[in-house]
Amino acid sequence: MDIDLSSDDLAFQQEVREFLATNAYKHGADYAQWRLNWFKLAREKGGWDVTKWPEAFGGPGWSPTQHYIWEQETAIAQTPWDLPFGLSMLAPVLMSHGNEEQQNRFLPDIRDRKVNWCQGYSEPNAGSDLANLKTKAVLSEDGSHYTVTGTKIWTTLAHIADWIFCLTRTSDSGKKQEGITFLLIPMKQAGIEVKPIITLGGSHTVNMVHLTDVKVPVENRVGEEGKGWGYAKGLLAHERTGLAGISKSLAALENLRKQANEVKRGNGTLLDDPSYRAKLAELEIDLLATEFTELRSLASAANGAEPGPESSILKLKGTEIQQRIQKLTVEAGGIYSAAWGAMPVGHMFARGGMSGYLSSRAYTIYGGASEVQRDVIAKNVLGIKRSQTK
């Protein structure tokens, strides 16, 4: 694949760099205000605040190469934090399956970053086997609302979310993938309880969410009743592509080289160690190969295609690569990495490296475990079918 940049692409790259440099965060400024202003200025550039949205919904209409340039440059620059749940996961579902009223109601606030969303998919007994979900949604006799009861788990940032997009079961008949309905539920109401789950890395990012007789107006249903599984699969494809984090891994790998070059080893540095250099080289080769898969995915998207099974390849390899970067960061920190929970000692990166490594153990689980991704790849990419036993 030819990824040489044309003169127009180089001009675009320079424009992006200038925008990022001009609007970078300045030490001491009000971060919240800077963040909102950054997205406002990005919007004025012509959809730079919603780069992955279709042009019909306010996106920039970029080519695959322009998307590639943006991902590369923003991975290096200091850009404001952004949550994917509304912007990159729910929004495409609303664009494809929501009615006009829902699009007008929810998309503007998602774009303006006024409302935080979380994802109500996994349950205590329905993680990788998501279609086994048990959360019930019962339609009222007058057809005006659903009553939802059940439990969701590993719900990222549910404790700060205003809304949850939720998979619920409205029927037990037929295959387990059938009878699943996609609902939008306000979090701040009676019957919803959020309990924190502290991760191995010591952070509070995920939660358990209990729903007890929660009333949901029927107009908050996306698409048809019982068709939610199809919508969920499309959303998962967008999620898995985003979780790959290829551009961020490229930047993290370059940073890791700089950190290794700070660690003394004999008369040189850790970067001079043949064994460590070999690990970095192997990691870089795998990362570049995954990057080319991402570029092919971008090219397909530019032609109007939805994310396909290649999103599972990206998620599988991308998250494994992120874990390997974290592992090599801990190795670079050496004995100082063990002090991550106490006062920092040794290399400045060592403390964060251990915390990042511990948190990274979940990367190959959330968004669909690696075993699930391998099943998807085997069936939909390699064409391998399950053997039928009598």
pLDDT in tens, 101-159: 999 999 999 999 999 999 999 999 887 778 889 999 999 999 999 999 999 999 999 99
Return the amino acid letter for 263: V
Superfamily assignment of 244-380 in CATH?
A: Butyryl-CoA Dehydrogenase, subunit A, domain 3 (1.20.140.10)
Question: What average pLDDT is seen over the chain?
Answer: 88
CATH of span 117-228:
2.40.110.10
Catalytically annotated residues: 239
Strand 204-217 relative to strand 145-153, pairing = antiparallel
CB–CB of 323/362 below 8 Å?
Answer: no
CB–CB of 363/315 below 8 Å?
Answer: no
CB–CB of 311/235 below 8 Å?
Answer: no
Q: Of 49, 126, 60, 40, whose CA–CA distance to 87 is shortest?
A: 49
The confidence band for 242, taking pLDDT boundaries of 50, 70 and 90, is: low
Mean pLDDT of 27-36: 94
Neighbours of 228 (CB within 10 A): 30
The confidence band for 390, taking pLDDT boundaries of 50, 70 and 90, is: very low
- The H or E element that residue 10 is part of is helix 7-22
pTM of the model: 0.81
What does the pLDDT read at residue 2? 47
pLDDT at 269 over 70: yes
**% of residues, the chain, pLDDT over 90:** 58
DSSP string, 293-353: HHHHHHHHHHTTPPP-THHHHHHHHHHHHHHHHHHHHHHHHGGGGGGTTSS--SSHHHHHH
pLDDT at 29 over 70: yes
**% of residues, the chain, pLDDT over 70:** 91
The confidence band for 305, taking pLDDT boundaries of 50, 70 and 90, is: low
Distance CA 312, CA 157 (A): 24
The confidence band for 1, taking pLDDT boundaries of 50, 70 and 90, is: very low
Q: Which residue has the tokens 């192997």?
A: 282
User: Does 156 or 304 have the greater pLDDT score?
Assistant: 156
User: Does 71 or 136 have the greater pLDDT score?
Assistant: 136
The confidence band for 386, taking pLDDT boundaries of 50, 70 and 90, is: confident
What does the pLDDT read at residue 365? 82
Neighbour-count burial for 102-129, b at 16+ CB within 10 Å, e otherwise = beeebbeebbebeebbbbbbbbeebbee
pLDDT in tens, 44-65: 999 999 998 999 999 999 987 8
- The residue ranges of every structural domain in the chain are 7-82, 117-228, 244-380
